[in-house]
Amino acid sequence: MSTIKTDAIVAVSTNGNLDLSGQGTGGVKVSDYLVLTKGADIASATALTLGKDGSAFDVTGTTAISSIGTQGIGSHVTLHFDGALTFTHHATDLILPGAANITTAAGDIAVMYEYASGDWRCVSYTKASGAAVVAAGGGWVVVESVTLAGESTVDLAEAAVTAGYDFMIIGDTVKMSADPGNYNPRLQFGSGAGPTYQTSGYKNQHTEQFATTNSTLRDSVTTGIILQHGGFGPGPGGTGAGETLSWIVEIINPAASVRCNCYHHSWSSGLDGTFIYQDGAGHRTTAEVITGFRLLPNGSQTFDTGTIIIYKRARS
């Protein structure tokens, strides 16, 4: 056995690796605490490029991250986030806990492992708040959050729809560019790579409570799941001050290659203080694996303000 005592060991080649080997079945034993070198801060980017000057980095900026460049298979790096951004789950490129996007906060720390070239898995994520990254007991976890600003369509969860999960989409105080028509907004299912969004084959049922009136409706709309139906009389919230529309829709096991069912509740406030509440259910008549969700308003309208959040929950 040989013992080398030194303050520093450097590689012979300036650009080469320093290889430490225990020879054969032996390991490299570290008998004292291990200090990771902190590299220079790196700015967030869609494709994050890590520095070569350390194995721990502060990530600055707010640009969403959807991939990380290669450091070499087997690399471990520690990322300390300095602010809020979307850390985007991908099934191979960037695997995150719960297979869901994470909205970072200042002080959050992620430990990442490169298991294949350019493919990373988060082996540990600690929130500065102390909150759990994935809710215990099969609870709902956030996949994606969208702040509305004039969108004509909103596509959701295209990298996160996997078998064995239910999904929930919340629309929070959504405002349209014009007074909604009868079939507004709609939810469509996507299938296949891309995905391709299906524009036919849907069925809907509704019950509405408005003032002292209860109404039921079975319609022949086939272009999507209608989250609030204006065909009863008073339409949902429109462009006037104080008019808003909100909804909760649950989608049951959409990636299971069965006929996909969903259940929804919606409520809206009118300009004159009226309040409309609807329950409904819908499905697409064919059995298929769902790979994404699309929300769209009626005709040429847009979603002007409000927030849409999608969650997922493990079924076991």
**246 and 103 together in one domain:** no
Co-location of 159 and 276 in the same domain: yes
105 and 152 in a single domain? The answer is no
Distance CA 295, CA 224 (A): 9
Residue 34 lies in a domain: no
Please spell the DSSP secondary structure of 192-225, one letter per residue. Answer: TTTTEEP-S-EEEEEEEEETTEEEEEEE---SSE
Q: How many domains does the chain have?
A: 2
- Decide if 4 is inside a domain: no
> Which DSSP state fits 234?
S
Question: What's the average model confidence in pLDDT over 227-236?
Answer: 59
Record the tokens describing residue 305, joined without a space: 């303000």
Residue 256 Rama label (left phi>0; alpha psi -120 to 50; beta): alpha
Q: Are residues 116 and 240 in the same domain?
A: no
How many whole angstroms separate alpha carbon 276 and alpha carbon 181? 15
Query: Are both 199 and 299 inside the same structural domain?
Result: yes
Query: pLDDT band at residue 234, thresholds of 50, 70 and 90?
Result: very low
Residue 292 counted as domain residue: yes
Within this chain, do residues 120 and 143 fall inside the same structural domain, yes or no? no
Domain co-membership, 121 together with 159: no
171 and 229 share one domain: yes
Query: Do residue 228 and residue 192 come from a single domain?
Result: yes
3-state secondary structure of 268: strand
**Domain C-terminal end among 85, 104, 126:** 126
Rg (alpha carbons) of the chain, rounded to whole number: 25
Domain boundary at 70, 96, 126, which?
A: 126
Spatial separation of the C-alpha atoms in residues 108 and 58, rounded to whole Å:
10
Cβ atoms of residues 18 and 12 within 8 Å: no
158/242 same-domain check: yes
Q: Rounded to whole angstroms, how far apart are CA atoms 185 and 238? A: 12
14, part of any domain:
no
Choose the most confident range, by mean pLDDT, from 36-50, 186-200, 250-264, 299-313: 36-50
pTM above 0.75, yes or no: no
Classify residue 102: in a domain, yes or no: yes
Q: What is the mean pLDDT of residues 44-55?
A: 95
CA 234, CA 252: separation in Å to the nearest integer?
A: 30
Tell which of 126, 152, 180 closes a domain.
126
Instruction: Output the domain CATH number for residue 208.
Output: 2.60.120
Residue 49 domain boundaries: 42-126
* Domain assignment present for 9: no
Residues 206 and 254 in one domain: yes
- One domain, residues 186 and 308: yes
Give pLDDT tens digits for 73-128.
999 999 999 998 889 989 899 999 888 888 899 999 999 999 999 999 999 999 99
Q: Smallest Cα–Cα separation from 226: which of 209, 252, 245, 253?
A: 245
**Which secondary structure element, helix H or strand E, spans residue 265, and what is its range?**
strand 258-269
245 assigned to some structural domain: yes
Could you tell me which of 182, 160, 201, 208 has the C-alpha nearest to residue 310?
160
Q: What is the pLDDT of residues 37-47, one digit of tens each?
A: 999 999 999 99
Q: Is residue 35 part of a domain?
A: no
What is the spatial distance between Cα 140 and Cα 197, in angstroms, rounded to a whole number? Answer: 25
